[in-house]
Amino acid sequence: MPHILVIDDDDLSRELLTMLLVADGYTVTTAPSGDEALQLPISPPDIILTDMQMPGLCGDPLAARLRALHGPATRLIAMSGSDVPPSQRTLYDDFLLKPFAVADLESLLAHKPILTPSTGTPVLDPTTYNNLLSAMSPKQLTDMFDFCLADAEKRLTRMAQAVATGDDATYRREAHTIKGGFGMLGALELKEIAATMETGGIAADDSNEGSQLGTLRDQFLAAIPRLRRILVAHPPHSGAA
């Protein structure tokens, strides 16, 4: 399988994407920044996946340096949690909108159109679940869900602190990371709530205070047990979700 270099400053996104790619048979090297990626002592990878919104070197300037370093055969793919106009990624071969699945990457590599993500809000997307299960062991899949849920609970604590201090940037950043992680796992309800938190920020969360459903964070915390119940009812070894 191809060798992929993943460049992303977000630890969780980088870890989840690496786990997915390795489980699918890819060889993966990672870097937390564009500058560090340029210093890696590696042969030219087949594919480079790099986030477009990172501190330091990123975007087209990073693409130019990567192209000069690794040559024309390496496929440069930009990725971002929000759409990036083609005019801002002219030096990249392709673009993927986060969150995406390994199947989306493979479709792109095969020059096939990427399917539009579902807009419904079931707790868990069975297609994504079964695709993940076919690509890794049941224990690996369970570990991924446990990792993502534990990480989300820590981030929700930081988001509560951000609400208390009025730190909207931190609130949105944590919500963005949660959205990406659960999106890759097909946990659609949690992904959608996190997306609403990211888009609306603290103001949207505060405006929900006192509502029947509670704040957006309350809604997210209420959705976590629903996902856990489904995972218990349909454990990975059953092959169904």
Contacts of 189 (CB under 8 A, 6+ apart): 121, 122, 123, 124, 223, 226, 227
Q: Which residue has the tokens 């988001």?
A: 159
At 87 the pLDDT is 76
Q: What Cα–Cα distance (Å) separates residue 74 from each residue in 2, 85, 187? A: 10, 22, 32
Provide the 8-state DSSP code for 9.
S
Among 37, 36, 60, 35, smallest CA distance to 48 is for 37
At 111 the pLDDT is 60
Provide the 8-state DSSP code for 43.
P
Give the residue range(s) of CATH 1.20.120 domains in the chain.
126-238
Give the residue range(s) of CATH 3.40.50.2300 domains in the chain.
3-109
Q: Please tell me whether the overall predicted TM-score, pTM, comes out greater than 0.75 for this model.
A: no
The CATH code that applies to domain 126-238 is 1.20.120
Sheet holding 27-31, edge to edge: 27-31, 3-7, 47-51, 75-80, 94-97
Q: How far is CA 81 from the centre of its chain?
A: 8
Contact 226, 192 (CB under 8 A): no
At 165 the pLDDT is 94
At 178 the pLDDT is 94
Which pLDDT tens digits describe the chain residue by residue (241 residues)?
789 999 999 898 899 889 888 988 889 999 999 999 999 999 999 999 999 989 999 998 998 899 889 887 788 999 998 888 877 887 888 888 888 888 888 888 776 444 333 334 678 888 888 888 888 888 888 899 999 999 999 999 999 999 999 999 999 999 999 999 999 999 998 999 999 999 999 988 877 665 545 688 888 887 887 788 777 656 665 444 4
At 239 the pLDDT is 44
At 174 the pLDDT is 95
At 42 the pLDDT is 92
**The domain over range 3-109 is classified in CATH as 3.40.50.2300:** yes
Q: How far is CA 57 from the centre of its chain?
A: 20
At 208 the pLDDT is 60
